[in-house]
């Protein structure tokens, strides 16, 4: 017998609206009585078959860090779903979203022993969760994010028992006013030959009408993220990236209850030796 679908969290008077960088935005429509972006997380947990123990760990994180203070990313690769949680401690005095507090919160289900080096001036950290993570697993990799100077962007490092390694460099740009910079950053690639791959395959016309574009360079892929898209654009993205039908159908069915929200999505891509472009991973985001 299949498990009943998770309850869908709805907007309250205390809710705030943030993008995946915890930058506030005004709802597109009256949000009263509609769904929180957290409903997308609940749906993905259902589709992935995650057990109730993972819900309990996520609820403990929400109680510790605060409502709408944790960003989640629903990750999709070759039909597989998992999640990345992002904590913006901003080097502030408040310690609720720092590694020790989050590690204590999830300790009944998940072991997180990694700690950032005291000298690392990170403003954010993240780690992955999988459908069975809250059944006694260990977080083996902690991602640390450091800012650039004077431009919006940064770099991330993977921290593990083996040490730290550079994993990602990225920059945020405004497509309406900085499109030349966006195109320059995309073309600066050793993984994709843009003389052979049209830019429209990478910078999607259907999504570029957004608040910000983030261009990232990772170890084995390039990536483009679109921030501040609407629910129609989210549906385009989910279909284009061939997310499970249950996820696409959920957004279609609840479109009128999600149309007050802005969404953030991202695609990793690389080029094969034959010159074809392959999308290796994708993600969409909300707040917990």
Residue 205 falls inside a structural domain: no
184 Cβ contact list (under 8 Å, min separation 6): none
Q: What per-residue confidence (pLDDT) applies to 168?
A: 96
Residue 122 falls inside a structural domain: yes
pLDDT tens, position by position, for the chain (288 residues)? Answer: 457 899 999 999 989 999 999 999 999 999 999 999 999 999 999 999 999 999 999 999 999 999 999 999 999 999 999 999 999 987 566 778 899 999 999 999 999 999 999 888 999 999 999 999 999 999 999 999 998 876 788 999 999 999 999 999 999 999 999 999 999 999 999 999 999 999 999 999 999 999 999 999 999 999 999 999 999 999 999 999 999 999 999 999 999 999 999 999 999 999 999 999 999 999 999 999
Residue 2, token pair as written in the block? 């299949």
Q: What per-residue confidence (pLDDT) applies to 92?
A: 61
- Domain count along the chain: 1
- Angle between helix 52-65 and 38-48 (nearest 10): 160
Q: Assign 195 to helix, strand or coil.
A: coil
Q: What per-residue confidence (pLDDT) applies to 1?
A: 40
Cα dist. 111→65, 100, 120, 141, 248 in Å? 18, 11, 22, 11, 33
- CA–CA distance, 205 with 258 (Å, rounded to integer): 22
Q: What per-residue confidence (pLDDT) applies to 206?
A: 97
Residue 275 Ramachandran class (φ > 0 left, ψ -120 to 50 alpha, else beta): left
Residue 48 falls inside a structural domain: yes
Residue 44 falls inside a structural domain: yes
Residue 64 falls inside a structural domain: yes
The parent domain of residue 128 ranges over 38-170+229-271
DSSP structure string for 67-101: TT-EEEEEEEETTEEEEEEEEE-TT-S--TTSHHH
Q: Are 192 and 269 in contact (CB under 8 A)?
A: yes
Residue 108 falls inside a structural domain: yes
267 Cβ contact list (under 8 Å, min separation 6): 223, 224, 225, 241, 279, 281, 282
Q: Assign 116 to helix, strand or coil.
A: coil
According to DSSP, the residues that pair with 156 across neighbouring strands are: 145, 168
Residue 19 falls inside a structural domain: no
- CA–CA distance, 252 with 11 (Å, rounded to integer): 19
Q: What per-residue confidence (pLDDT) applies to 118?
A: 87
Distance of CA 243 to the CA centre of its chain: 15
Question: What angle (nearest 5°) sits at the alpha carbon of residue 197, between those of residues 214 and 271?
Answer: 80
Residue 148 falls inside a structural domain: yes
Q: Are 65 and 97 in contact (CB under 8 A)?
A: yes
């Amino acid at each position: 017998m299949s498990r009943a679908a998770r309850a869908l969290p709805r907007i309250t008077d205390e809710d705030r609206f943030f993008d995946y960088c915890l930058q506030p935005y005004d709802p597109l429509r009256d949000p009263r009585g509609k769904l929180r972006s957290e409903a997308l997380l609940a749906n993905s947990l259902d589709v992935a078959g995650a057990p109730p123990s993972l819900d309990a760990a996520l609820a403990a994180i929400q109680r510790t860090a605060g409502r709408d203070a944790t960003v989640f990313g629903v990750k999709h690769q070759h039909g597989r779903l998992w999640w990345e949680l992002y904590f913006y401690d901003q080097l502030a005095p408040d310690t609720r979203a720092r590694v020790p507090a989050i590690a204590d919160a999830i300790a009944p289900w998940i072991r997180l022993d990694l700690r950032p080096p005291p000298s690392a001036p990170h403003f954010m950290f993240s780690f992955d969760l999988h459908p069975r993570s809250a059944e006694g697993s260990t977080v083996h990799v902690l991602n640390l994010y450091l800012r650039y100077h004077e431009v919006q962007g940064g770099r991330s490092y993977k921290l593990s028992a083996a040490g730290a390694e550079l994993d990602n460099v990225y920059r945020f740009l405004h497509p309406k006013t900085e499109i030349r910079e966006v195109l320059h950053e995309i073309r600066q690639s050793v993984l994709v030959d843009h003389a052979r791959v049209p830019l429209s395959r990478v910078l999607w016309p259907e999504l570029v009408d957004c608040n910000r574009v983030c261009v990232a360079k990772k170890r084995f892929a390039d990536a483009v993220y679109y921030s501040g898209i609407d629910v129609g654009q989210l549906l385009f993205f989910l279909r284009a990236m061939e997310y499970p039908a249950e996820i696409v159908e959920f957004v279609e069915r609840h479109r009128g209850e999600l149309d007050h929200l802005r969404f953030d999505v991202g695609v990793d891509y690389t080029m094969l030796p034959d010159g074809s472009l392959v999308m290796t991973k994708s993600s969409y985001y909300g707040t917990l």
